[in-house]
Amino acid sequence: MVRIIFLLFSAILFSFSTADDTLTPGRPLTDDSEASLISVGGKFQLGFFSPVGSSNRYVGIWFCNVSVDSVVWIANRRRPIASKSGILSLTANGTLLIADGNGNGTTVYWSSSTEVSVANPVAQLLDDANLVVREAGGDQNTYPAWQSHDFPTNIHLPGMKLGWNLTSGFNRQLTAWTSATDPAPGIYTLGIEKQGNAQEFVWQGTQPRWRSGPWNGLYFSGVPTIELDSLLRQEFVVDEQEVAAWFTVGNPSVILRSVLMPDGLLRSESWIEETQTWNVRAYVPMDRCDSFYACGPNAVCYPNAWPLCQCLPGFRPRNPQNWDVIGNPSDGCVRTTALDCQNGTDRFFQQSSVKLPDTTASAVNRSMSLEDCRSWCLRNCSCTAYASANLSTGSESGCMIWTSGLADIKFLYGSSSPQPLYVRLAAADLVTATEPMESGQRRMLTIIISVSCVAVLFFVCVACCVWAAKKKKKNRADEEVEEENLNLPLFDLGTIAEATGNFCMDNKLGEGGFGPVYKGKLKEGQEIAVKRLSKTSMQGTDEFKNEVMVIAKLQHRNLVRLLGCCVQGGERMLIYEYMLNGSLDTFLFGWLAKSLMIHKTHVRLICKIFDFLLACYRPDRDKCRLLDWRMRYNIILGIARGLLYLHHDSRYRIIHRDLKTSNILLDKDMNPKISDFGMAKLFGGDETTGNTKRVIWSLWKENRTSEIVHDSICHSLSFDEVLTCIKVGLLCVQERPEDRPIMCFVLQMLVSNSSLLPEPKQPGFVVTSNQIDNDSSGALLSINRLSVIILEGR
């Protein structure tokens, strides 16, 4: 009590507003004076703050030059102060205290509880966001008496270690906020499991939700994208003092962080100064196979396949009925043939390109060679698999050994990891998996090959005749296109073929009505997207010429940039700038195409019907959750600016006529760009009509607009902006074309207050679910209670 009264008395006498980086006894920070500490390099600030949407007061550390979501550490996250009466002080023995100075100042809301007494203490905010307590004037390289980096909240910053300090006993973990407005500890934590071969985990309560896989000397084996990140370098150490992971950044001017979100998503983000937004670089869990133990023991999870789970070679489903009928593979797989340890006939099957099984119960020997590891496993009857433990030497070394079921294995598409899993199998199962074909099979194969060769020869002859007949026509078309004054580079066919790996399927990004689209990389390093006209398309040449002529004359930040075209060898190709984040529909609907195992173009109609309403009501919402409200709103504004340019500001007035989420591309900073002008129509000076599409109306009429927004983005949205977007959407589909705003007014409305906009009237095409109107005004599609119609519009 005496100490608290003394601190409050000191606060009254010595309260001050400071821009210093240190706190000393007798010179506290008080909330009402808006005092703060600023690190010597000006990167971080410490003081009192309230989260957006909350009046509670906390002591925290935040980025000085970041305007959005900048808090990186909070002291009293479990016990906020209800008013601006807080005091942060440093006691004479080096303990930090947060107390309430509002009259009854006996309440301590937080204490650093240091066990090391400091004779002449000082608290200092460092330029890595670490608040340290040490001896004044002492060696700054010695371990401090207390530091905030030993008690992280939900943010992981460069240089900040996660994991175990085996000397002090500290287990440094991230703990998510309860919600976007409440920094109290939530149910998700990120940390390092040190049992077995150490690896990172995200836990939901006490249950594992995601794991990184073991460290292989270069990166965590289940997150191979880290190896490809030139900006970020992951570090990991296991020794007598600690089991810890951290990362560093090659460019000190780049602001990077990892955030454990309230929903358990771990996101790596970089700050984009130009747009004042956080750009999501990577995230986990990334797909259904990232869910811990998705397929049970001895099975591999394939994220892009159906069925999702498949047994390892030499294994079969433990309960086939669960796999085939119920679709529940969680009980995993069992061996087809028992191991034969006594006679020493067992061998190993090499399973490549996978996240290694859970290593919590595995053993590791980093000095053993891989060959010694194999021999040891064969001699040990309980050994089920082995793998190398270290790739940092440029080859496999060290030894990891599993003695139980192999759990949580994920197939890594496109991974070139040289760290395969060697699975122990009975000799009979290994022969089945790799044996040469029997003579009868070879004879059957010979017959099939012979018949196929004859058929291929026949079709080659027919194709040559057809090709010869069409060659002259194609050459004339080539000359017509080349004679157009397009002011665009003409790319050589060989250059494009080399850039796309000869149009390799691994480089295929998708396919639309025009034809397939491939990712490529020119010799000078520029990444491109190549749209290749389908040779069977009857309308392709006209659409090709139309798109080239249209896009060649367009320049806008929200339109995809056409780099050139190729009209050689009968090919019609457009070369665009490559958009790193693909199309908007993959964030909203990509899960549906994967689930149904059909091409994206086949679900466009479904996507149009369900749109944003269905996008977040799905079992795999991870990618959709990246689109928080701020990002969605910026995308809406960007699309509106692009359309305004097309309608009013470009050299030619253009109506796109095929605008949909698959034709909205997102660059590395999630900026939207309108693409695919093959269906675009050029209009004269006074022509402004085209087609418009759907809306639903009942939720607005019944004052239930909040139901349109899913709770996954509720924490990030501005409700006034949401109302504005809904109003503008309804105003654009009024029954009378003259009642609908033109594009320049639409953009103005989107950045206006919703209360200033006129109230929309009921659209002329609203119908109920039991009404089917087949008149010439449009085509009605109805699913459950959702009705959609396509009309001619303004």
- Confidence check: pLDDT of 13 > 50: no
Burial class (CB in 10 A: 0-12, 13-18, 19+), 537: middle
Which carries the bigger pLDDT value, residue 677 or residue 664? 664
Q: What angle do CA 743, 744, 745 make, to 5 degrees?
A: 90
Which carries the bigger pLDDT value, residue 14 or residue 245? 245
Highest mean pLDDT among 32-41, 63-72, 313-322, 720-729: 63-72
Residue 475: which pLDDT band, with cuts at 50, 70 and 90?
A: low
For residues 776 and 442, what is the distance between their CA atoms, to the nearest angstrom?
A: 61
Look-up of token digits 């990362």: 247
Burial letters 609-640, b for 16+ CB under 10 A, else e? bbbeebbbebebbbbbbebbbbbbbbbbbbbb
Digit-coded pLDDT (tens) for 782-791: 323 333 333 4
Which carries the bigger pLDDT value, residue 242 or residue 343? 242
Look-up of token digits 């033109």: 742
Tokens of 613: 């309403």
Strand 399-402 and strand 347-351: the pairing is: unpaired
Look-up of token digits 């006691």: 91
- Give the CA count within 13 Å in the CB-facing half-sphere of 614: 14
**Are the beta carbons of 76 and 148 closer than 8 angstroms?**
no
For residues 270 and 669, what is the distance between their CA atoms, to the nearest angstrom?
A: 10
Burial class (CB in 10 A: 0-12, 13-18, 19+), 167: exposed
**Are the beta carbons of 408 and 358 closer than 8 angstroms?**
yes
Q: What is the average pLDDT across 305-318?
A: 88
- Confidence check: pLDDT of 160 > 90: yes
Instruction: Compute CA 679 distance to the chain's CA centroid, rounded to the nearest angstrom.
Output: 31
For residues 163 and 82, what is the distance between their CA atoms, to the nearest angstrom?
A: 33
For residues 277 and 70, what is the distance between their CA atoms, to the nearest angstrom?
A: 11
What is the phi-psi region of residue 325: left when phi exceeds 0, alpha when psi lies from -120 to 50, beta otherwise?
Answer: alpha
Sign of CA dihedral 437, 442, 445, 450: positive
Q: What is the average pLDDT across 365-370?
A: 91
Name which of 15-19, 142-146, 327-331, 401-405 the model is least confident about. 15-19
- Confidence check: pLDDT of 617 > 70: no
**Are the beta carbons of 608 and 781 closer than 8 angstroms?**
no
- Confidence check: pLDDT of 693 > 60: no
Q: Is 658 a catalytic residue?
A: yes
Name which of 56-70, 240-254, 441-455, 557-571 the model is least confident about. 441-455
Digit-coded pLDDT (tens) for 126-156: 999 999 999 998 777 788 999 999 999 999 9
- Confidence check: pLDDT of 690 > 90: no
Q: What percent of the chain has pLDDT over 90?
A: 37
**Contact partners, residue 45, CB within 8 Å, separation at least 6:** 36, 37, 38, 39, 61, 62, 63, 64, 125
DSSP, collapsed to helix, strand or coil, labels residue 445 as: helix
Q: What is the average pLDDT across 384-412?
A: 90
Length of the chain in terms of residues written: 794
**Are the beta carbons of 108 and 78 closer than 8 angstroms?**
no
Query: Of the candidates 99, 86, 59, which has an alpha carbon nearest to the alpha carbon of residue 75?
Result: 59
Digit-coded pLDDT (tens) for 729-757: 888 888 777 778 877 778 778 877 766 77
Which carries the bigger pLDDT value, residue 48 or residue 567? 48
Under DSSP, the state recorded for 774 is: -
**Are the beta carbons of 123 and 18 closer than 8 angstroms?**
no
**Are the beta carbons of 432 and 349 closer than 8 angstroms?**
no
Highest mean pLDDT among 64-78, 99-113, 671-685: 64-78
Q: How many CB atoms are closer than 10 A to CB 517?
A: 20
Which carries the bigger pLDDT value, residue 654 or residue 691? 654
DSSP, collapsed to helix, strand or coil, labels residue 546 as: helix
**Are the beta carbons of 341 and 381 closer than 8 angstroms?**
yes
Which carries the bigger pLDDT value, residue 314 or residue 650? 314
**Are the beta carbons of 36 and 137 closer than 8 angstroms?**
no
Residue 677: which pLDDT band, with cuts at 50, 70 and 90?
A: low
- Confidence check: pLDDT of 313 > 70: yes
For residues 724 and 512, what is the distance between their CA atoms, to the nearest angstrom?
A: 33
Q: How many CB atoms are closer than 10 A to CB 363?
A: 16
Which carries the bigger pLDDT value, residue 412 or residue 695? 412
- Confidence check: pLDDT of 418 > 70: no
Instruction: Give the chain's mean pLDDT.
Output: 78
Look-up of token digits 């996101």: 267
For residues 464 and 456, what is the distance between their CA atoms, to the nearest angstrom?
A: 12
| Residue 444 amino acid letter | M
Predicted confidence at residue 556, as pLDDT, reads 84
Residue 514: which pLDDT band, with cuts at 50, 70 and 90?
A: confident
Output phi, psi for 339, to 5 deg. -70, 155
**Are the beta carbons of 627 and 713 closer than 8 angstroms?**
yes
**Are the beta carbons of 200 and 247 closer than 8 angstroms?**
no
Predicted confidence at residue 455, as pLDDT, reads 74
| DSSP letter string, 370-411 | HHHHHHHHHH-TT--EEE-SB-TTSS-BSEEEE-S----EEE
**Are the beta carbons of 647 and 688 closer than 8 angstroms?**
yes
Digit-coded pLDDT (tens) for 51-67: 998 999 999 999 999 99
DSSP, collapsed to helix, strand or coil, labels residue 101 as: coil
| Residue 700 amino acid letter | W
DSSP, collapsed to helix, strand or coil, labels residue 631 as: helix
Strand 266-272 and strand 277-284: the pairing is: antiparallel
Digit-coded pLDDT (tens) for 165-205: 998 888 999 999 999 999 999 999 999 999 999 999 999 99
Tokens of 172: 């440094």
Predicted confidence at residue 190, as pLDDT, reads 98
> Domains of the chain, with CATH numbers?
1-151 (2.90.10.10), 161-286 (no CATH), 289-434 (no CATH), 442-577 (3.30.200.20), 590-601+610-793 (1.10.510.10)
Helix axes 719-731, 629-644, angle to 10 degrees: 40
**Contact partners, residue 484, CB within 8 Å, separation at least 6:** 545, 548, 549
Look-up of token digits 């992981």: 156
Q: What is the average pLDDT across 504-519?
A: 84
Digit-coded pLDDT (tens) for 581-593: 888 877 776 544 3
Which carries the bigger pLDDT value, residue 524 or residue 692? 524
For residues 188 and 210, what is the distance between their CA atoms, to the nearest angstrom?
A: 11
Q: What is the pTM of this model?
A: 0.57
Strand 409-411 and strand 299-301: the pairing is: parallel
Predicted confidence at residue 311, as pLDDT, reads 92
Look-up of token digits 């609908």: 740
Q: What is the average pLDDT across 205-223?
A: 91
Radius of gyration of the chain (CA): 31
Kindly name the residue from 229, 331, 658, 739 that is annotated as catalytic.
658
Predicted confidence at residue 199, as pLDDT, reads 96
- Confidence check: pLDDT of 369 > 80: yes
Predicted confidence at residue 414, as pLDDT, reads 67
| Residue 352 amino acid letter | S
Q: What angle do CA 764, 770, 776 make, to 5 degrees?
A: 45
Digit-coded pLDDT (tens) for 315-364: 999 888 877 655 678 888 999 999 998 888 999 999 988 999 999 999 99
Strand 96-100 and strand 516-521: the pairing is: unpaired
Q: What is the average pLDDT across 2-9?
A: 43
Predicted confidence at residue 549, as pLDDT, reads 72
